[in-house]
Amino acid sequence: MSELSELAKAISVCMLCKLHETRNRAVPGEGPENAKLMLVGEGPGFNEDQQARPFVGASGKFLDQLLASVDIKRSDVYITNVVKCRPPENRDPLPNETQTCCTTYLDKQIEFIKPKVIVTLGRYSMGRFLPNVTISNVHGKVFKYKGITIYPLYHPAAALHQGNLRKTIEDDFKRVADLLKQTDEAPKTPTIIKKPDEPPSPKQM
């Protein structure tokens, strides 16, 4: 069994924070172990909690459309979330929950997969790599983190709640395929940005 599979097994029975008390099933993530593109959302919703798969509800359908719009197969992408268990009543994850899940699981997933591009979906996943910024100011812009291209976008669910954001998300997503191509052509010397010790305080989406 691979390191990533072992990690998924550990996530499925994790009890490191109180989210395990109300979950139905943990959602480790899915996709190739050598995926060049990694999508990181906030946390599982109702459907994800039932199926133990990320992005299978309404926002997942929109995400599938976004991937298809740039000719990227979902099966070629590793998809996961900042927290691996559904917060009760779909509330925002708490700082201690995101910190525990990221340092124990998300950071290791990134280490094992070694993606070239990480697309963050929403402010919580963005905050793990880009502290002290607002998503309204940095969405659709490119950053570097430990040699990995970080591309922050609004969460697909935002388009479902605020229709005016749909075109913004669609336009931002059009750049993903080009970013993957650029990483294939880029020199091997990485640009290092110090990893934040703590996730930032939640900010207005």
Tell me the average pLDDT across 34-45: 97
Average pLDDT over residues 30-34: 97
Asked if residue 198 has pLDDT above 90, the reply is no
Average pLDDT, the chain: 91
Structure tokens, 165? 């954001």
Q: Which domains does the chain have, with CATH numbers?
A: 20-185 (3.40.470.10)
Asked whether the predicted pLDDT for residue 192 surpasses 60, the reply is no
> Model's pTM, two decimal places?
0.88
- Give the Cα separation of 43 and 55 in Å (integer): 9
Using alpha carbons, list the distances in angstroms from residue 90 to 43, 85, 192, 201, 203.
9, 10, 34, 18, 17
The tens digit of pLDDT for each residue in 87-117 reads 999 999 999 999 999 999 999 999 999 999 9
| Model pLDDT, residue 114 | 97
Check if the beta carbon of residue 85 is closer than 8 Å to that of residue 26.
yes
What is the arithmetic mean of pLDDT over 1-7? 95
For residue 96, what pLDDT is reported? 96
pLDDT tens by residue, 45-73? 999 999 999 999 999 999 999 999 999 99
H/E stretch holding 12: helix 3-12
